[in-house]
Amino acid sequence: QSALTQPASVSGSPGQSITISCTGTNSDIGAYKYVSWYQHHLGQVPKLIIYDVSNRPSGVSDRFSGSKSGNTASLSVSGLQVEDEADYYCLSYTRTYGLVFGGGTKLTVL
């Protein structure tokens, strides 16, 4: 199966805002509200930061927000901080084969 499509990299300066897109099809992102986002620092364990498109787990900063339009989900990070530098992955339920990750986006905070 094809991974969801994410930009390979995005960057921003401290204090700025960025958005990471995750594009799928009408068999996954477009069909369900089951999109989640994960932050993964190198050498650490992935961390759930958004579930069901736009919900934040307890303890996750409100600087992180999620949305969806059609076949594309988006993760926005406001007030960028150095510690936000990490890889970010979207995950969606699919009609055909369960779940699928995006290819991942490396966020660099300049």
Partner 1 sequence: EVQLVQSGAEVKKSGESLKISCKGSGYTFDTYWIAWVRQMPGKGLEWMGVIYPGDSETRYTPSFEGQFTISADKSISTAYLQWSSLKASDTAIYFCARHRGGNGWSFEHWGQGTLVTVSP
Residues that bind partner 1 (CB under 8 A): 1, 3, 33-34, 36, 38, 40, 45-48, 51-52, 57, 87, 89, 91, 93, 96-104
Structural contact between residues 4 and 75, judged by C-beta atoms closer than 8 angstroms = no
Query: Which residue lies nearer to partner 1 by CB, 14 or 45?
Result: 45
Closest Cα partner for 76 from 59, 96, 56? 56
Query: Shortest gap between Cβ of 12 and partner 1 (angstroms)?
Result: 21
Query: Which residue lies nearer to partner 1 by CB, 26 or 79?
Result: 26
Query: Which residue lies nearer to partner 1 by CB, 38 or 71?
Result: 38
